[in-house]
A and B are shown apart, each in its own frame.
Chain A
Amino acid sequence: MSPVPRDLLQSLRRFVEERVDLSALRHMAREKEVPQHRHSFWYYFGGMALFLLIVQMVTGILLLLYYRPSAEEAFESVQFIMTRVEFGWLIRSVHSWAANLLIAVLFVHMFSAFLMKAYRRPREITWMTGVVLFALMLGFGFSGYLLPWNELAYFATRVGTAIAAAMPLAGEFFLRFLRAGDEVSGATLARFYGLHVAVLPAITLAVLAVHLLLVQQHGMSVPPSEERRHSGKVPAMRFVPDYILRDLVGWLAALAALALLAALFPWELGKKADPFQAVPVGIKPEWYFLFMFQSLKLLPPHLFGIEWLEGEVVGILVFTAAGGAWLLVPFLDRRTARGERSRLFTVAGVLALLFIIVMTVLGYVLE
């Protein structure tokens, strides 16, 4: 390399360091370590999720340049992106696939954190912000699914929002809040668009900042079994460059999966939504909502033959309670908090995972 660029780099570094204090960063790069044990592999899913979220932000902003959020123009604008805009097809396909991969990776990240008891003191808030981020990603998925304004999205949103109406007391309010009216219409599209590109990103960035800050402050959690195994002295690797290199492999693996999916299965657009058409047969939500949808479908209209015990309402209440319990796990799992073994919560986590997998499979198998 010629001396000129090196000088230039040094001048640039001097320029920055005179104005910004980078000593903390330099210290972190020098000192920060990440535990290395049999379950370290699961750490990389957090990094992959972050990478996919960045992909979503970049591709989302690019789509925003051409997308028009109205019932009259939404479908046509997505069609325009896919056919007329240079590499528009790629951006849209990557955005759609990355959304699905992100949620899949988050499922793995969340359940691995749960089973490794990463929520125990002092990481309670890290866990809770993680659960909130997961819920926010589901919100992104639900609101983004409607935006192309195609037939499947329209009717899936109609079915999905109708489920909200079954909630006791606030059901009607939620339905009207989500739909911006009695029916899924152009007003719903505008509302979902606002949520998708402004409200949810703003909340996500704030919660994500707290989540990442806490991860940096507390470092990676070591599973209790590994702590016991190494008598508290768990081996570690340097964050820079060892962990970063490994994390990069995870990012590249996610990118490779995206390229493969976009090449072999370009995301289809389907037919434009027609509210006056009959609901197509076998309409179902996206895979990550399917376990809830399928569970509600399998519940009888009235539980135990009791008239007022409506199956759907009970199902929604149970899911709401389960979501709340999931969020508050660090405070419910007292044995783990005391540093004891907590088989009950491990079994509950495995059962929840099995339930989600079985119900999702049933959702596809049972038409």
Chain B
Amino acid sequence: MRSAPATALRLAAVGFGAALACGPLVRAVENGCTACHLELDGPLAEPARLFPDDVHAARGLSCHDCHGGDPGTMDMEAAMSPQKGFKAAPRDGREVVALCASCHSDPVYMRRFAPSLRIDQMAEYRSSVHGKRLFGSGDPNVATCVSCHGVHDIRAVSSPQARVYPTRIAETCAACHADAARMKPYGRATDQYEKYRRSVHADLLYRQRDVSAPTCNDCHGNHGASPPGGGAVVNVCGQCHTFFKQYFLESPHREPFESIGQCIHCHGNHDVESPTDEWIGTGSRAVCVQCHSSGDAGYAAAELIHGRIVTLNEAVERAAGLLDRAEQAGMEVAEPRFELRDANQSLVKARSLIHTLNPARVVERVDEGLAVAVKVERAGLDALAELAFRRRGLLLFLVLILGLMAGLIWKIRERRRTR
């Protein structure tokens, strides 16, 4: 049984915890700004309704931290008096950016709330296409902080509710970039979002729920959003595809592809597909034939690489199929199946080595995988042969037993007849 002081202590601890957790909420409700604004209709009530769930409210900030004024009074004139430092809502994009930056670019202030948060967003923003237009021509249509993060319902970037959470970023960008009327003055295409949704990256992000899959900001940057410049694409893709980048930079394509989009030239940009072995080679779906034609060295190299990769792929599939058949028939093939992983690994490596455009390196890796695949195929065939042997043996045994049974039954009948 618990003692009374212990129970009292527990209750006190629970009460203290609840007070801490509800602190910002209580403060928001007791705040004169929210008390009045919640009484109003339409858009004037919305900030007071939304703000309790805002990340700033959770950190203890309140209306007056951005808007000034005196939240401690219910007198509207006094609360919104310029003498109390009241500032109206920012009038344009520049004022929005300046207001946010007044805290977010201040390392001393930010250290109090989020010491690990970067404070160079403003500098980055100024370097972005958005920032350049805002501060250059004063374009009122460009995105500012609130366009992506929201106004009074800002969430931490790590929150799935945030407009800038990986699974929501593309929609946030598309709100402007897929709007044909909005993009018309800039002469920009508006199909990026539609294309992205078809890409292998979107498949990873939305269907397989892999939040590390790239979305708009991973390639374009976020606060410094711009298209990757010519020659920088390989660095953008190379953030994740490190080996492809390394192989590409070692390849003879490095220089000629500098001016034609590097990775994008073969793989596309927003609608990056999962490549197949048909992309390499000289077939109708091959990307190589866009530039190479019969007789040149690149054409021959593409043909050779395609042939070897396909050979290895077929050998791996054949071996896997045999193991599947043997396994379904109850044979134990865990060991060759484990070895088959090495052949698969060689296939993956050979496919990535395509980016070196060096047939010798690809062939070396393919041969390594082929040796394993052939061994596994033999193990699969052996397993099936063993299965057939076992079945024959057991069926022979069965015949023997049935013969014995028949003999016994004959003997029983014989005895019955004799009696």
Contacts and interface: CB of A to CB of B under 8 A. Distances in A.
B139 to A, nearest CB: 51
Interface in A223-238: none
Contacts of A263: 390-391, 393-395, 398
Contacts of A242: 412, 415
Contact of A249 (B387, B394, B398, B409): B409
A170 B335 CA distance: 44
B398 A256 contact: yes
A248 B408 contact: yes
A186 interface: no
Interface centre among B331, B334, B387, B404 (most CB of A within 10 A): B334
A90 interface: yes
B334 A266 contact: no
Interface in A260-289: 260, 262-269
A112 interface: no
B206 interface: no
> Size range of the interface on B?
20 to 34
A297 to B, nearest CB: 29
Contacts of A79: 332, 334
A245 B390 contact: no
Given A242-B415, A248-B408, A256-B405, A266 B398 contact: no
Contacts of A93: 330
Contact of B408 (A252, A256, A259): A252
A105 interface: no
The main secondary structure of chain A at its interface with chain B is helix
Contacts of B401: 252, 255-256, 259
Interface in B400-419: 401-402, 404-405, 408-409, 411-412, 415
B248 to A, nearest CB: 38
Contacts of B335: 83
Interface string B106-136: 0000000000000000000000000000000
A262 B398 CA distance: 11
A248 B334 CA distance: 40
A246 interface: yes
A245 B412 contact: yes
B194 to A, nearest CB: 35
B408 A262 contact: no
Given A82-B332, A83-B332, A268-B330, A249 B405 contact: yes
A89 interface: yes
A260 B391 CA distance: 9
Nearest to A83: B332
Contacts of B390: 89-90, 263, 266
B394 A269 contact: no
B16 interface: no
B329 interface: yes
A268 B409 CA distance: 35
A253 interface: yes
A252 B404 contact: yes
Interface string A166-178: 0000000000000
Nearest to A266: B330
Contacts of A265: 330
B263 to A, nearest CB: 37
A259 B411 contact: no
A262 B394 contact: yes
Given A256-B398, A259-B397, A266 B331 contact: yes
Contacts of A248: 408
Interface in A84-118: 89-90, 93
B405 A253 contact: yes
Contacts of B330: 93, 265-268
Contacts of B405: 249, 252-253, 256
Nearest to B412: A245
Contacts of B393: 263
Interface in A205-239: none
A253 B398 CA distance: 10
A73 to B, nearest CB: 15
A85 to B, nearest CB: 11
B117 to A, nearest CB: 34
Nearest to B411: A245
A155 B395 CA distance: 35
B382 to A, nearest CB: 11
Interface string B265-308: 00000000000000000000000000000000000000000000
Nearest to B403: A252
A259 B394 contact: yes
Given A79-B334, A89-B390, A268-B330, A256 B402 contact: yes
A79 B390 CA distance: 18
B340 to A, nearest CB: 16
A260 B408 contact: no
B408 A269 contact: no
Contacts of A255: 401
Interface centre among B330, B397, B398 (most CB of A within 10 A): B330
Contact of A260 (B332, B334, B398): B398
Interface in B372-407: 387, 390-391, 393-395, 397-398, 401-402, 404-405
Interface of A: 79, 82-83, 89-90, 93, 241-242, 245-246, 248-249, 252-253, 255-256, 259-260, 262-269
27 contacts: A82-B332, A83-B332, A83-B334, A83-B335, A89-B390, A90-B390, A90-B394, A245-B408, A245-B415, A246-B412, A249-B409, A249-B412, A252-B408, A253-B405, A255-B401, A256-B401, A256-B402, A256-B405, A259-B394, A259-B398, A259-B401, A260-B398, A263-B390, A263-B391, A263-B394, A263-B395, A263-B398
Given A79-B332, A245-B412, A256-B401, 10 more contacts: A82-B332, A83-B332, A83-B334, A89-B390, A252-B405, A256-B405, A259-B398, A263-B398, A268-B330, A269-B334
Can you list the 5 inter-chain pairs with the closest CB atoms, starting with the nearest? A266-B330, A263-B394, A82-B332, A256-B401, A259-B398
